[in-house]
Amino acid sequence: MNLRDSRAVPVNHLEAENLQLWRGDRHVLKGVGFTLSRGECLQVTGTNGAGKTTLLRTLCGLMVPEEGRVLREGRDVRADLPAYHSSLMYLGHEAPLKADLTARENLYYWIGVRRRVAGAELDAALARVGAGACCERLVRALSAGQKRRVALAGLALMFAPLWLLDEPTTNLDAEGQQVVGALMAEQLARGGAIVVATHQQLPAAVRVAQVLELAS
């Protein structure tokens, strides 16, 4: 029904209004605001401790800002968090992978909690990110880069309109970075939006519409 409303009044995909957040005595988010349309990518930069991760966690509704709000399709996301959550995908710098499960099982349980997923889909996604060989191997035996690729396969499987990515290119070689770039470009092409926090250069395939620099 969100969509029906949005047809009448064209609204922005994701909007943050004057987000203010304190952690103890520290004023972490000092009036952050932006407007993101469909098919756009917002890059959040800033030094370590500038609040990039805090901003992403606030955007996805885990943290509650003292002031300001986050709007999706013109509506406060707090009004219906489960619906908002099923429309977004948050990938932190730690991939939620279990060492004692295989790459494939990890994906199956991770994605399966959100939507029905077929085995063939999992294999295709793993192959796509260049981790096809790791399918049946325990994650314990994978390198940091391979683990990262398994996490990216999760991203490829999650057809969420909004991606919130925290340092997606960490631990990846040049080829892996290309994969990230391709996945992100694809997401933008199909009208999805991305908020990505990184101080690294994003792969060339990703057209960054806006850059938001957080001051520490």
Partner 1 sequence: MQAQAPSPVATAAASLSGGTEVAPALAAARLALSRDLTLAFRKRGQLIQPLAFFALVTMLFPLAVSPELSRLRAIAPGVLWVAALLASLLALEFLFRDDAYDGTLEQYALSGQSLTWLLFAKTAAHWLLTGLPLALMAPLAAMSLGVAAAAVPGIVLVMVVGTVALSLIGAIGAALTLGMKRSGALLALLTLPLSLPVLIYGARATELAIGGTSFIAPLELLAALAVLAVTLAPLAAAAAVRISLE
Partner 2 sequence: MRWTWFHRLASPPYLYALAARLTPWFAWPAALLILGGLYAGLVLAPPDYQQGEGFRIIYVHVPSAWMSLMVYVTMGVAAAVGLIWRMKVAHAVAASCAPIGASFTVAALVTGSLWGKPMWGTYWVWDPRLTSELILLFLYLGFMGLRAGFDDTQRADRSAALLAIVGMVNVPIIHYSVIWWNSLHQGPSVMRLGKPTMPPAMLVPLLVLLLGFTLFFAAVLLVRVRAEILQRERAARWIGETLRA
Q: Which residues bind partner 1 (CB under 8 A)?
A: 3-4, 6-7, 38, 57, 60-64, 82-88, 90, 92, 94-98, 100-101, 105, 109-110, 112-117, 159-161, 190-192
User: In whole angstroms, how close is the CB of 62 to partner 2 at the nearest point?
Assistant: 13
**How many CB atoms neighbour CB 7 within 10 A?**
9
Q: Write out the H or E segment, with its range, that includes residue 120.
A: helix 119-128
Contact status: 213 vs partner 2 (CB under 8 A): no
d(CA 164, CA 125) in angstroms, rounded, equals 19
- Is 158 within 8 Å of 91 (Cβ atoms)? no
Candidate list 5, 66, 80, 213; residue touching partner 2; CB under 8 A: 66
User: Would you count residue 69 as binding partner 2 (CB under 8 A)?
Assistant: no
Q: Is 23 in the site for partner 2 (CB under 8 A)?
A: yes
If you ran DSSP here, which 8-state letter would residue 64 be given?
-
Check residue 78 for interaction with partner 2 (CB under 8 A): no
Closer Cβ to partner 2, 67 or 173, answer by number: 67
Choose from partner 2, partner 1, none: what does 67 bind? Cβ within 5-8 Å by kind: partner 2
67 binds partner 2 (CB under 8 A): yes
User: Is residue 27 a contact partner of residue 1, using CB atoms and an 8 Å limit?
Assistant: no
The residue (of 119 and 175) whose beta carbon lies closer to partner 1 is 119
Nearest to 207 by CA among 197, 189, 165, 198: 189
Contact assessment for residue 181 and residue 109, using Cβ atoms and an 8 Å cutoff? no
82 binds partner 2 (CB under 8 A): no
Among 1, 3, 4, 24, binds partner 2 (CB under 8 A): 24
Tokens at 174, concatenated: 């040049």
CB of 190 to partner 1, least distance (A): 5
Q: State in angstroms the smallest separation of the CB of 90 from partner 2.
A: 20
b/e map 14-50, b = 16+ CB within 10 Å: bbbbebebeeeeeebbeebebebeebbbbbbebeeeb
DSSP-assigned letter for residue 128? H
The token pair that represents 114 in the structure block: 């959100």
Under rule CB under 8 A, residue 94 binds partner 2: no
- Residue 141 is given by DSSP the state G
Q: Which of 2, 6, 12, 20 binds partner 2 (CB under 8 A)?
A: 20
